[in-house]
Structure 1
C-alpha cells in the first residue's frame, strides 16, 4: 500500500539539491585554514553521499547496508564541516534505509535526530519529508493514530513549500491509514486528492500505487466493477 522505495529516493533527491545549493565560502584572511578544512569536508561529504546513493540503487539488502556505512561516513564529514542541512538530510536518509531493512526503531532514532536540525535550519521541505517518514514507520508498526499525527504536521509544510511530490505521497499515505482503520470514504477522499498531484508531477509509480489503493477500497466496498476500472488504470 505504501510506496516505501520512493522515500529514500526522495530523500536522496532532496539531499543532493540541498548540498549542491550550498555556496562555497570565499577565502578570507582570518580563519582561512578552518574555512578551507570545512569546505573540503563538505565536498568530501557530497562525494560519499553520492556513493551511498549508487549502493542503495543496487537494491539488495547487502548494498543497502553498505549504503548505511557510506551515509554514516558522510554524516561525520558534514558534522566536521558544520553543515547542519547536510547533516539533517543524511540522518533522514539513514533512517529511510533502516526502515526499508525492517529496523523501524533504528529508523525512528535517526529521524528524531534529523527533525530538530531541519527546523533549526528552516528547511521546511526536509522537515515535511522527515515527518511523513516518521508517520510511515508508525503506520507500519500499527500505531495508526500516531501516524496521522505526523502526516498532519507534514501536509501543511509540503503545501507551503510547493513540494507536490511529498504532498501527494502524504495524502496517499493518509488515505491508506484511513482505509486500514475501516474509514473507506475518508480513504477515498485523500486518494482522490493525491491522484492529480501524482499525475501533475509525472510520478507514474506513485500514480500506480494510488490507483491500486483506490481499486482496493472499492473492492472492499463490494463495488467490483469500479475496482476493476482502477486496477486496469494502475496496471499499465
Structure 2
C-alpha cells in the first residue's frame, strides 16, 4: 500500500504563502523584488503540479512519463523559490511515480532526497509518508526486514501527527510483511489494529483490503470458515468502491 496523500497535499491543498521578511531599510526594495520572483516561481510550480496530476490520473505509462517531466519542472521552481518543504514533497511524488512504473531503484533515489528535506523543515507528516513508501518499495523488492525498519520509523510519526488513516496504512503494510514472512499471528495483530482505523476514517477501500488480507491469513492457518467470514465482509465494500479488480 503506497500512500498518495502527499501528492494531493502538494498539488492541491497547500496555500501559497512564503512569509518572507522585509529588509529594515534599503535604497532599492531588493526584498520585494526577491519576494516577487519567489512567488512567481511558486505559482509556476503549482501550475506544473496541477498539469502533472492531470497526466498521472490518465494512468498510462506514457502519461506517467509526462508526469515526471512536469514534476521535475516543479522541483526546479520550488528550489528557485527556496521552498524546501514543497521540494521535499515533489521529490517524494517523483519517487512514487517511478515506483508505479516499476523502476524501484530510481524511486529509492528520489525518496532518499526527499527524506532529509522533510526532516530539515520539520514536516513530520511528509517524513512519515516517505518512510512508508520506502518501506513499500523494499517490501516489493523482497527485502522484508528492511521494509519493516522503514515502516517502524513511519508508524510513530503517523501517530504523533494524528494521521489515523496513514497509521492504518502503515499498520496494514507491517501486517502484510509479517504474513509474507510466515508470522501469521503477528500479522493478525497488526491487521486488527488497522481495521478499526480504516473504519473510523471512512476509508472503505482500505477496510476492504484489510478484511481480504485477514481472510487470506485465516485461510493459510486452515481456518476456512473464518476466512470466508472476512472475505464475505470485504466483497460488498469492493463493489461499493468500484474496485472491480479487488472484487475479482
Shorter-normalised TM range: over 0.9
Q: Distance in 2 between matches of 1:118 and 1:135?
A: 17
Q: Provide the C-alpha distance between the structure 2 equivalents of 1:174 and 1:18, rounded to a whole number of angstroms.
A: 29
Q: Does 1:20 align with 2:24?
A: no
Structure 1, unpaired ranges of 5+: none
Contact 1:135 1:149 in 2 (8 A): yes
1:79 is aligned to 2:63: no
TM-score, reference length from structure 2: 0.89
TM-score in terms of structure 1 length: 0.93
Query: Does 2:51 match 1:56?
Result: no
Larger Rg: 2
Contact in 2 for aligned 1:174/1:190 (Cα 8 Å): yes
Task: Provide the secondary structure at the position in 1 that maps to 2:14.
Answer: helix
Partner of 1:121: 121
Instruction: Provide structure 2 residue ranges, at least 5 long, that are not aligned to the other structure.
Output: 24-28, 237-248
Q: Which residue of 1 aligns with 2:202?
A: 202
Where does 1:90-129 land on structure 2 (aligned, <5 Å)?
Answer: 90-129=90-129
The 5 A counterparts of 1:187-198 are 187-198=187-198
C-alpha displacement of 1:129: 0.3
**Cα deviation, residue 202, structure 1:** 1.2
Residue equivalent to 1:212: 212
The farther-off stretch of 168-177 and 198-207 is 198-207
| Distance in structure 2 (CA, Å) of the matches to 1:128 and 1:18 | 18
What whole-Å deviation, never above 9, does each CA across 1:111-137 have from its counterpart, x for those lacking one? 000000000000000000000000000
1:166 alignment counterpart: 166
Count of matched residue positions in the alignment of Structure 1 and Structure 2:
231
